[in-house]
Structure 1
Amino acid sequence: MLEIKGLTKKYGQNVIFKDLDLTLNNGEVLSVIGPSGIGKTTLIKIMTGLETANSGQVFIDGEEFGIGDGRLNAKIGIIFQDFNLFPNYTVLDNITLAPVNVNKLSKKAAKQEAIEFLDTLGMKDKEILYPYQLSGGQKQRVAIARALAMHPNIIAYDEPTSGLDEHSTRQVAAVIKQLKSSGVTQLVITHDQYFAELISDRIFDFAQEVQR
C-alpha cells in the first residue's frame, strides 16, 4: 500500500502542488489524470526518489521513506513514456542487466525469469531483437518486463500511451489488466481520460486536487 501525505512541491515561488494526499491500495490500478504540464510527472519522480519535494511523507506498506529517498527506486518500478531502453542491447539484455548488476542475480536465473516475463507479456519470440526492431507497443511491454524483473512493490507508468496508435494502446491496456489479475499494484499517470476509465479501479483527478 502506498500512502502520500501532505506532499508539497515548489520551484522557487511557483507552487506545483500543495498538501497533496494520495493512497494506492495493494493490487489496485489507480490512474492519476490531468492535462500536460500540471505536475503529474513531477509527482511520479518524487515517488520514485528521482526528485525531492519541499515537504510531505511517503509510506509503502507502513514504512516511511524520506522524500527523494533513493530506496524508493527499489520499491517503485517506473516506466517512462520514452521507455529508456538501451538501443545497443537486445530485448533480453535490457531486461537482465539490472537484476544481474544490481540485484546480483546469476545470468542464468535472470535470463530464465526474463523469458518467463516476456512469455507472459506475449513477447517471448522477440528476446533477441533490438529496440529499433520493435513497435511502440512492443517497446512498452519490454519496459514493463524490465520493471517487473526488479520485483518492485508498485509499477508506475508515466503516460504509457503517449505516441502509441490505437492498436498499441489496446495492447498496453490488456497488459495492465493482465498484471492486475496477477495482483500487481499499478499507478498510471495519464492525460487520456478514456484510457484511464478502461483500466482503472479508481481515478484521481490531479487538476481538481491541486486547485482545491
Structure 2
Amino acid sequence: MLTIKNLTKMYDQNVIFKNLNLTVQEGEVLSIVGPSGIGKTTLIKIMAGLEPANGGEITINNEAISIDGERSDANIGLIFQDFNLFPNFTVMDNITLAPVNVNKVPAEKAKEQALSLLESLGMVDKADLYPYQLSGGQKQRVAIARALAMNPKILAYDEPTSGLDESSTKQVAEVVKTLKSRGVTQVIITHDQFFAEIVSDRIFDFAKEVAR
C-alpha cells in the first residue's frame, strides 16, 4: 500500500501543492486526473524519487521512502510520457540494461525475464527491433516491460496515452487491465478522462485536492 501524507512541493515561493494526502491500496489501479500544469507529473516524479519534495512523507507498506529526490531504489517504476527508450538499443537491450547494470542480474537471466515479459505483453516477436521500428503503442509496452524488469512494488505512468491513436490507446488499456489481474499496483497520471474511467478502480481529482 502506498500512503502519501501532507506532501508539499514548492518552487521558490510558488506552491505547487500543499499537504497533499493520498492512499493507494495494494493491487489497485488509481488514476490521477486534472488539467495540465497543476503538478500531476511533479507528484509522480517525487513518488519515483526523481524530484525532491519540501515536506510530508511517503510510505510503501508502512515503510518510509525518501523524498529528497536522490533515491535510487526501484520501489516505484516510472513509465515516462515520451517512453525514454534508448534509440540505439534493441527492445531486448532496453529491457535488460538496468537489471544487468543496476541490479547485477546475470545477463542470461535478465534476457529470460525480458522474454517472459515481452511474451506476456504480446511483443516477443519485437525483441530484436529498434524503437524507430515500433508503433507508439508498441513503444509504450516496451517501456512497461522495462519498468517491470526492475520488479517495482508500484508501476506509475505519466500520461500513457498521450500522442497515441485510438488503437494504441486500447492496447495500453488492455495491458493495464492484464497487470491488474496479476495484482500489480498501478498509478496513472492522465488528462484522458475516458481512459481513466475504463481502466481504474478509483479516480483521484488532483485539481479538487490541491484547491482545498
TM-score tier after normalising by the smaller chain length: over 0.9
Aligned-pair distance for 1:12? Answer: 1.4
Q: Is the 8 A contact 2:81 2:159 kept in 1?
A: yes
Q: Does 1:45 align with 2:82?
A: no
With normalisation by structure 1, the TM-score equals 0.98
Check 1:168–1:141 CA distance in 2 against 1; reply closer, same or farther (3 A cut): same
Match of 1:120, as an amino acid? S
> Per the alignment, in what secondary structure is the counterpart of residue 74 of structure 1?
coil
Which consecutive unaligned segments of at least 5 residues does structure 1 have?
none
Helix, strand or coil at the partner of 1:9: strand
Q: Does 1:98 align with 2:95?
A: no
Aligned partner of 2:142 in structure 1 is 142
The letter for the 2-side match of 1:152 is P
> Percentage identity across aligned positions?
71
Q: Distance in 2 between matches of 1:127 and 1:70?
A: 32
CA distance in 2 between counterparts of 1:190 and 1:137 reads 16
Which stretches of structure 1, 4 residues or more, deviate above 2 A after TM superposition?
68-73
Where 1:77 maps in the other structure, the secondary structure is strand
Note the alpha carbon deviations across 1:24-69, whole angstroms, 9 max, x for none: 1110000000001110000001111111111000000100122135
CA drift of 1:14 comes to 1.1
User: Which position in structure 1 is the counterpart of 2:201?
Assistant: 201
TM-score by length of 2: 0.98
Q: Following superposition of structure 1 onto structure 2, how do residues 1-212 of structure 1 map, counting pairs within 5 Å?
A: 1-68=1-68, 70-71=70-71, 73-212=73-212
CA RMSD of aligned residues (A): 0.9
- C-alpha change, 1:197 and 1:72, in structure 2 (3 Å) is farther
Q: Matched residue pairs, number?
A: 212
- Per the TM alignment, residue 13 of structure 1 is displaced from its structure 2 partner at its CA by 1.6
Paired with 1:72 and 1:194, the residues of 2 have a C-alpha distance of 34
Pair 1:154–1:194, CA change in 2 (3 A):
same
Q: Is the 8 A contact 1:87 1:130 kept in 2?
A: yes
In structure 1, how many angstroms separate the alpha carbons of the residues matched to 2:72 and 2:115? 26
Assess if the C-alpha contact under 8 Å between 2:52 and 2:70 holds in 1. Answer: no
CA distance in 1, matches of 2:97, 2:25: 30
Whether the aligned pair in 2 keeps the contact of 1:48 and 1:70 (CA below 8 Å) is no
- Equivalent residues of 1:99, 1:150 under 8 A apart: yes
